[in-house]
Structure 1
């Protein structure tokens, strides 16, 4: 585990502000859901990855690619299937 050197206080209602640099580094944006885990005496926050199921195969994997600002999620197999299908389409502009 990496120490950031950042120390924050908990406010009256139990909130802790995540510093901007940390949010940017982890691609955490306003209203992003975070998962909360407890490991012995540690609290672990992780960006919730509910968009990890491939839209074509349904496969859930950390290797899936998230595209179009999270609107499209594809596994390697899903990308191959989509690529073949798109190759069959004649596009006229």
Structure 2
């Protein structure tokens, strides 16, 4: 994980504020649902999506394919598009 150097204290109700710079950088707007995950002794926040959205098409479906321990999610169409682009790049003599 990447450290931001930002430290925040919990308030009396157990809340913390995510700095505006981070929210802007990650496109987190007011009322964006966040999932709270536990990884060992770490608390991880991520944008909540009922189904993971395809990185290429943005399509959310329970039929999407998850790869690389869940960090990459592709729909069938997104996977086909990615394969096509990879093949084009691999066949480009100027790469």
| Length-normalised TM-score, structure 2 | 0.58
Kindly state the Cα deviation for residue 17 of structure 1 after the two structures are TM-superposed.
Answer: 0.3
Q: Which residue of 1 aligns with 2:83?
A: none
The runs of 5 or more residues in structure 1 that have no matched partner are 65-73, 78-93
Write out the 4+ residue segments of structure 1 that deviate beyond 6 Å after TM superposition: none
| CA separation of 1:29 and 1:76: change in aligned 2, threshold 3 A | same
| Length-normalised TM-score, structure 1 | 0.59
Instruction: Point out the structure with max Rg over C-alpha.
Output: 1
Q: Is the 8 A contact 1:37 1:43 kept in 2?
A: yes
CA RMSD, Structure 1 to Structure 2 (Å): 2.7
Residue-pair matches, total: 68
